[in-house]
């Protein structure tokens, strides 16, 4: 299980005592998101000359738990006809999520700001540096959607997550003036819902028992379809940076 590193003297004490009483990271239970609404701010493609072209700026939220969630649009000439080799998708760092750690559940209307050091998905969970609960997040009964703002990359506060291919498609994707484009993302959402009790990270952090969300360490797949051909990029070739 991936869990935030303990900070401070109290954290160190918990770490030492855990060998006697509980597993080191039992203070941080983790579960799977049942809904994960993300706002897609921009979709771009890079052509063979190395130029990035903006395909669309939807500012639209989709639930990535839904296997039918995807962006579909007609080119209409916005993307110059040609061959494209890499995608880039920009997301907001504010999400609507629901889920549980197996016992404690997200609370409808809850809101929390999560600060941390991770600069890219493979760095997660990194160190959690702040947990500011704006509205109670924890429910013991009914699971509901709550709002999570993540300020990662040492709390950079830029409201941007970028997902892109680390290398070109195996074969360039041809886009025509009137091509129909479909973009789909698949995330691994296991161990993204976290619970932490009061003072478990450091004194006063968090100030109360909370439940919160951290983005997935792994984007399983991104597919881009142009007319009748689809270019797939698998997890090993996808980077997600905060």
Q: Give 180-204 pLDDT, tens digit per residue.
A: 999 999 999 999 999 999 999 899 9
Helix (H, G, I), strand (E, B) or coil at 63: strand
Q: Give 142-179 pLDDT, tens digit per residue.
A: 999 999 999 999 999 899 999 999 999 999 999 999 99
Residue 5 confidence class, pLDDT cut points 50, 70, 90: very low
Burial code of 14-25, b = ≥16 C-beta within 10 A, e = fewer? beeeeeeeeeeb
Residue 110 reports pLDDT greater than 90: yes
Q: What angle do CA 97, 122, 182 make, to 5 degrees?
A: 60
- Nearest in space to 191 (alpha carbons), one of 29, 23, 22: 29
- The H-or-E segment that residue 171 falls in is none
The pTM (predicted TM-score) of the whole model is 0.86
Residue 28 confidence class, pLDDT cut points 50, 70, 90: low
Helix (H, G, I), strand (E, B) or coil at 191: coil
Q: Give 64-80 pLDDT, tens digit per residue.
A: 999 888 999 999 889 99
C-alpha torsion angle, residues 20, 21, 25, 30 (rounded to 10)? 160
């Amino acid at each position: 299980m991936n869990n935030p590193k303990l900070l401070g003297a109290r954290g160190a004490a918990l770490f030492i005592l855990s060998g006697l009483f509980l597993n080191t990271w039992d203070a941080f239970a983790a579960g799977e998101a049942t809904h994960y609404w993300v706002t897609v701010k921009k979709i771009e493609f890079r052509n063979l000359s190395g130029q990035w072209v903006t395909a669309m700026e939807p500012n639209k939220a989709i639930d990535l738990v839904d296997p039918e969630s995807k962006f579909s649009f007609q080119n209409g000439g916005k993307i110059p006809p040609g061959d494209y080799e890499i995608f880039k998708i920009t997301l907001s760092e504010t999400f609507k999520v629901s889920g549980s750690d197996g016992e404690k559940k997200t609370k409808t209307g809850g809101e929390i700001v999560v600060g941390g050091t991770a600069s890219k998905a493979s760095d997660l969970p990194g160190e959690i540096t702040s947990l500011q609960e704006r509205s109670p997040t924890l429910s013991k009964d009914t699971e509901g959607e709550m709002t999570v703002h993540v300020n990662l990359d040492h709390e950079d506060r830029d409201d941007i997550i970028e997902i892109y291919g680390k290398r070109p498609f195996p074969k360039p994707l041809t886009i025509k003036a009137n091509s129909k484009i479909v973009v789909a993302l698949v995330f691994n959402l296991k161990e993204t819902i976290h619970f932490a009790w009061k003072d478990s990270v450091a004194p006063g952090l968090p100030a109360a028992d909370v439940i919160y969300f951290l983005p997935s360490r792994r984007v399983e797949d991104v597919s881009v379809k142009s007319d009748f051909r689809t270019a797939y990029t698998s997890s090993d070739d996808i980077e997600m940076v905060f």
